[in-house]
Amino acid sequence: MDNLAGRIFFASIFLCLVAGCSIFKQPDEETATGGLNMRGYRMPTDSVVVELAIVDAPATQALSEAIWRQLDETTLTPEQRRSLALNGFRMGVSQGPLPLELDKLLAAQQANEDVDAETGALVPGIRKNRQRHQLRSGETVQIATASPKERLAWILDEGDYRRGKSFENAECHLSLRSYPRRDGTVRLKLTPEIHHGQPRQGVDVATHSLIFRPFRDKEVFSELEMEANLRPGHIIVVAASGDKSLLGHHFLSQSQAVEEGREKLVLVRLVQTQLDDLFDPGQIFTPIETPVE
């Protein structure tokens, strides 16, 4: 009995010590913060941040040559460049600072925008040509490059033959998608699209709920898709080229009703990517410094 009593005594002391450890255990982070994540918002690993700008420029040969001699157009294959040129598009990449002539145009455009002194927002009526977006892999952002037209007739030159159509209530877009890679680069794709017709109501299914969204018919020119592998700081530049009757000028030339002899250049800058495990196999999370619009 004495041995049994001794065993019970020591077992009781052991249980008390264990219970005491659990009682005085330091609360974990979730308990200390009341269940709130106080470390800030974290971007998913397949997220990228891009900045967009549409620059208005004089359509002069001298300015065009000065800008394009400083851009790298070899990110596309010769076949892709030929297909784009046949249809009035041109794409290049700036891997450093923008060409000086283009940078001056962008700076002048920003200086002329009227900003509300109290809120910092653009004054109503001023079209906002600069945007910042956070994108997941494969997610789409629509860049409206031209004002809506009551009627738009277009022709696509595919080399061996041509095809074309005419649309009512048409608007030209460049559809932007991003695909981050594990080496720290991001493949950005720009696809010309014409959205046309009257808006209709559609239904999307997301997070076990139905979301009603308006949509329009669209013509997607997958043959003219433009793509490039970028690192943060690299910039894609897209502009119209060739004869004014070509498809690209519907997207990137100013309407004659607005001002003759001017064109638009679309700039897409890669700001940030989360997926970069070339030297660090762990996940990289970085808070967004500037709110995404």
176 versus 255: which is more confidently predicted?
Answer: 176
Residue-wise pLDDT tens digits, 50-78: 999 999 888 888 999 999 999 999 999 99
pLDDT at 24: 42
pLDDT score of 31:
47
| Minimum mean pLDDT range among 15-24, 155-164, 211-220 | 15-24
pLDDT exceeds cutoff 90 at 163: yes
Quickly state the pLDDT bin for 30 (edges 50, 70, 90): very low
What is the rounded CA–CA span in Å between residue 183 and residue 266?
Answer: 26
* Domain assignments of the chain as residue spans, ordered by start: 48-273
Per-residue model confidence (pLDDT) at position 292: 42
Name the pLDDT band for 151 (thresholds 50, 70, 90): very high
- Which residues does 203 contact at the CB level (< 8 Å), separation at least 6? 210, 211, 212, 213
Provide the pLDDT for residue 160.
Answer: 87
Band the pLDDT of 126: cuts 50, 70, 90.
very low
Average pLDDT, the chain: 78
User: pLDDT higher for 277 or 70?
Assistant: 70
- What is the C-alpha radius of gyration for the chain, rounded to an integer number of angstroms? 28
Average pLDDT estimate for 67-92: 95
Provide the pLDDT for residue 196. 93
- Assess whether pLDDT exceeds 70 at residue 259: no
Q: How far is CA 291 from the centre of its chain?
A: 14
Tell me: pLDDT of 225 over 50.
yes
Q: Give pLDDT, residue 84.
A: 96
Cα angle at 189 between 183 and 193, to 5 degrees? 170
The model's pTM is 0.73
pLDDT band at 206 (very low <50, low <70, confident <90, very high): low
